[in-house]
Amino acid sequence: MRLVVSLVLAAAVAAGVGCSSSPSGPESTGYELRRQAFFDATEAADANNTYSEVVRVMRGIEPDESKIQHDLDRLTAREDTSDFKLPGLLWLLYKYSDSEVLRAEMVANIKGVLLKHKFWPDERLNETEWLPEPEPVDDDWVPTTDSMVYVTENHFILYASGAYLVGQLYPDEVFAASGETGAEKMETFRPRVMKWLELRYKSGFSEWLSNVYYDEDIPAVVALAELAEDPEIKQLASMVLDLIFADMALNQYRGTFGSTHGRTYEQKFGGSRDSTRSTAALLFGVTDLDDPEAKPSNLPFELADFRPGNMSSTMVALAEEYRLPRVIYDIANDTEREEMENRQRMGIRLDEAESWGLDVNHFEDGMTFMTLEAYTHYLTIGLWAEMLDAYGWWVHDDYSIFRDFQEVLRDPVVGPVFAKGAEKDITRNMRPEVNIYTYRTPGYMLSTAQDYRDPHRVDYVANESGYGGDQQSIWQATLGKDAVVFTTHPANEDWGGDTPRFWTGYGTMPRAIQVKNVVVSLYDVETGETLYVQDQPLYTHAFFDKSQFDEAYKEGGWFFGRYEDSYVALWASDPDADWKVNDDPDHQDLGDHEIVACPDGYPGASSTYPDGYPGHEACQNRQGYGECEDPKDCDKTVWISELGSKADYVDFDAFKQAILDAPLTVNVQSLTVDYESPSQGKLVVGWNGEPLTQDGTPVEVHDYARYENPYGSSAFRDDVISFEREGRRLELDYAQLKREYDYLLD
């Protein structure tokens, strides 16, 4: 791979700022003032963690070393998620090891902890020191290793970047867990870092558009862009950062990252809970910063959105070399465009792994496959069994579930057959290729993972239930910061604990397809015997918090909501569906937010479910509707949502009447919908693999480009990705490792 850095880039990096100080350049965005305001907010706030204390040290203020020590203690104890603090600790070592306000003893302590730390699951030389007298978990199994998670997309790069950078800092030191010198560690981890960056550039993220895990990815990639001495790593890391921030700019609505997500938790309840909000405010502008020289932001971020100690915003603010290309800021602030359609494809298909340079029979590639969490896919189940053996993971907290199936997993014939038969359940947390569609207007945004894990593409069997889900969020409507609507199928009725659960993820995912401002979501809940998620409730539900809307009520079978001049309508196949009164003392931060839709032909108690089916209490007062011969067939619901605004209708009443007058025919048992949308015409879709048609024409929802939107179009897997708005541009070229732009953020 050849490194080409444009003259524009070289000059910008040398100066440490963007190029837009030229008199002919665009008006300032006030970034430097926002950056200092973020540091001010961190300095004024209570000590939080290593990240908040890095800022204090940077400003010449003595840190609260107990916060740093707490993070070091978690690393020493090998606690899961302790790796989240690695970029901040490395920043202290690289930038401030000789600072007058950071004690030499603390610097030595950080160094000592990292020299002993385990950065990869095969680094097991000092495990007896870490776990000298393990207690058996049962008669046959004794833990021999930690339960840190290394394999997801964010953990992979946090550990790989951390190992590479600490090796670079101490090339002659010996690392206790691996026996390698720092120089040898760099040699081990460089290919891992480069492969991760390559896949993120060319295929995007399997944890797509995550308003949780982008917050973990960004610090690791900033650390590489800022601290790595290898020019290829620095450049590719900067290019990947550009694409992360482009993802955020394209898929946010007035500051709320309210898109579909590959992984999220209750953060999807609204912008107030979004883990990336602090970073978006820093990069895309705030409205309450007095800067007469800067162009006002179009986004409603405020200084209060800065979160001291937030890992991604702290690392972005600390960055001295990386700056955001101005065009990405402009895209985020392009809020008054009449409509913006963004299509993008992310992730890979496992049956195409070879074309990505990956081999299901190559042990080293196992960690990369597991960034997709492809633990028990029939193509990778044998590789996963090898990893469980090699790394002592049969007693790992997260993987001990596999211990009862070790003979099956290890069998090269039986294992893949078993995995294929149970695929819809046991690969629920796997995240293969996704086609994302986001439609944004000045009044609202609707975003969907189109026909995700579509059952008709490969080996489709008619009338089978959908795939299980884990932490995905398939579609969401966003009208305001916390005025959001989405539907899920709860895996259980627990708010906390393992996922999937009540609001996080899905017991069974829907077939959801969006056409501009309309989305149809079909649910066929799994009622058969499953291994991973058992006794799934048969009802589905919507999150639609009435307290966040100016008006919200049900009329004519539809749920309507108005937020300022933006409107949403939601229809459920259950005619008796309605908001539940929120009397939960643990969630009074929400209003009445849950709409329960019971399945077609609600069976109540029966020979199959003598006490009522799982989740029976939610529907126990219903009389049922429709007909189904077997209670296990009473497992289907349909949801439809359409959005509008005052730009489209005279007022909310006109929107409401147009929806109520729209012809709608739904057969819940066959999961077919015929809806004459007031805005999108006749939409027809079913469950059994047929495409959605709009006025008789199939709507393409597969095989999207890498990016296709008003700002640029780049083919999937293409080396070149570019964006342009009003003459400002960014062009990235993977083959040439080229990053060209005209202006950076200032």
In this structure, are strands 672-677 and 551-555 parallel, antiparallel, or unpaired? Answer: unpaired
Q: What pLDDT is stored for residue 6 in this prediction?
A: 41
Q: What pLDDT is stored for residue 606 in this prediction?
A: 52
Q: What pLDDT is stored for residue 613 in this prediction?
A: 59
Residues 208, 346 contacting (CB under 8 angstroms):
yes
Choice among 8-12, 406-410, 717-721, 736-740 with the minimum mean pLDDT: 8-12
Q: Residue 551 forms beta bridges with which residues?
A: 562
**Average model confidence (pLDDT) for the chain?**
91
Sheet of 693-694: strand order equals: 664-667, 672-677, 681-686, 693-694, 697-698
Q: What pLDDT is stored for residue 530 in this prediction?
A: 79
The pair of three-digit structure tokens given for residue 106, joined into one six-digit string: 């603390």
Q: What pLDDT is stored for residue 625 in this prediction?
A: 54
Amino acid (1-letter code) at residue 735: A
CA atoms within 13 A on the CB side of 531: 15
Q: How confident is the model at residue 139 (pLDDT cuts 50, 70, 90)?
A: low
d(Cα 115, Cα 95) in Å, to the nearest integer? 18
Task: Please give the biggest Cα pair distance in the chain.
Answer: 79
Q: What pLDDT is stored for residue 9 in this prediction?
A: 39
Q: What pLDDT is stored for residue 582 in this prediction?
A: 94
| Mean local confidence (pLDDT), 441-468 | 78
Query: What is the distance of C-alpha 210 from the center of its chain?
Result: 2
Please determine, for residue 317, whether its predicted confidence score (pLDDT) is greater than 80: yes
**Percent of the chain topping pLDDT 90:** 80
Q: What is the pLDDT of residues 509-558, one digit of tens each?
A: 999 999 999 999 999 988 777 788 887 888 899 999 999 999 999 999 99
3-state secondary structure 416-467: HHHHHHCHHHHCCCCCCCEEEEEEECCCCEEEEECCCCCCCCCCCCCCCCCC
Helix (H, G, I), strand (E, B) or coil at 494: coil
The pair of three-digit structure tokens given for residue 411, joined into one six-digit string: 């069998």
Please determine, for residue 366, whether its predicted confidence score (pLDDT) is greater than 50: yes
DSSP state of 715: -
In degrees, rounded to 5, the angle at the alpha carbon of residue 111 between the alpha carbons of residues 107 and 116 is 150
Residues 561, 479 contacting (CB under 8 angstroms):
yes
Q: What pLDDT is stored for residue 20 in this prediction?
A: 33
Closest CA to 635 of 678, 608, 601: 601
Q: What pLDDT is stored for residue 455 in this prediction?
A: 53
Q: What pLDDT is stored for residue 585 in this prediction?
A: 94
The CA distances from residue 176 to 127, 183, 364, 712, in Å, are: 10, 14, 21, 48
Amino acid (1-letter code) at residue 245: F
Q: What is the pLDDT of residues 89-102, one digit of tens each?
A: 999 999 999 999 99
Q: How confident is the model at residue 630 (pLDDT cuts 50, 70, 90)?
A: low
| Mean local confidence (pLDDT), 35-42 | 97
Please determine, for residue 24, whether its predicted confidence score (pLDDT) is greater than 60: no
Please determine, for residue 7, whether its predicted confidence score (pLDDT) is greater than 50: no
Closest CA to 441 of 545, 302, 344, 334: 334
d(Cα 623, Cα 9) in Å, to the nearest integer? 68
| Mean local confidence (pLDDT), 313-331 | 98
Q: What pLDDT is stored for residue 480 in this prediction?
A: 97
Q: What is the pLDDT of residues 109-126, one digit of tens each?
A: 999 999 999 999 999 999
Choice among 65-74, 362-371, 440-449, 529-538 with the minimum mean pLDDT: 529-538
Please determine, for residue 21, whether its predicted confidence score (pLDDT) is greater than 60: no
* CA-based R_g, the chain, Å: 26
Q: Which residues contact 409 (CB under 8 A, 6 or more apart)?
A: 376, 381, 382, 384, 385, 388, 402, 415
Please determine, for residue 195, whether its predicted confidence score (pLDDT) is greater than 90: yes
DSSP state of 522: E
Question: End-to-end alpha-carbon separation of the chain, Å?
Answer: 31
Helix (H, G, I), strand (E, B) or coil at 705: coil
Q: Residue 103 forms beta bridges with which residues?
A: none
DSSP letters spanning 539-599:
-EEEEE-GGGSSEEEEETTEEEEEETTEEEEEEES-TT-EEPP---GGGTTS-S-EEEEPP
Please determine, for residue 457, whether its predicted confidence score (pLDDT) is greater than 60: no
Helix axes 153-169, 86-96, angle to 10 degrees: 20
Q: What pLDDT is stored for residue 537 in this prediction?
A: 86
Helix (H, G, I), strand (E, B) or coil at 40: helix
Whether the link from the prior residue into 610 is cis, omega within 30° of 0, is: no
Domain borders along the chain are 7-346, 350-426, 451-701
Q: What pLDDT is stored for residue 619 in this prediction?
A: 74
Helices (H), 260-310: 277-284
Residues 331, 249 contacting (CB under 8 angstroms):
yes
Helix (H, G, I), strand (E, B) or coil at 727: coil
Q: What pLDDT is stored for residue 733 in this prediction?
A: 98
| Mean local confidence (pLDDT), 562-580 | 95
Closest CA to 570 of 521, 619, 531, 631: 521
Q: What pLDDT is stored for residue 598 in this prediction?
A: 86
Residues 523, 636 contacting (CB under 8 angstroms):
yes
Q: What is the pLDDT of residues 543-553, one digit of tens each?
A: 999 999 999 99
Q: What is the pTM of this model?
A: 0.94
Q: 10-36 burial, b if ≥16 CB within 10 A, otherwise e?
A: eebbeeebbbbeeeebbebbbbebbbe
Closest CA to 718 of 728, 733, 739: 733
The pair of three-digit structure tokens given for residue 620, joined into one six-digit string: 């126990």
* Better-predicted residue by pLDDT, 327 or 17: 327
Please determine, for residue 25, whether its predicted confidence score (pLDDT) is greater than 80: no
DSSP state of 136: P
| Mean local confidence (pLDDT), 481-497 | 94
Helix (H, G, I), strand (E, B) or coil at 675: strand
Q: What is the pLDDT of residues 174-186, one digit of tens each?
A: 999 999 999 999 9
Residues 516, 477 contacting (CB under 8 angstroms):
no
| Mean local confidence (pLDDT), 495-503 | 92
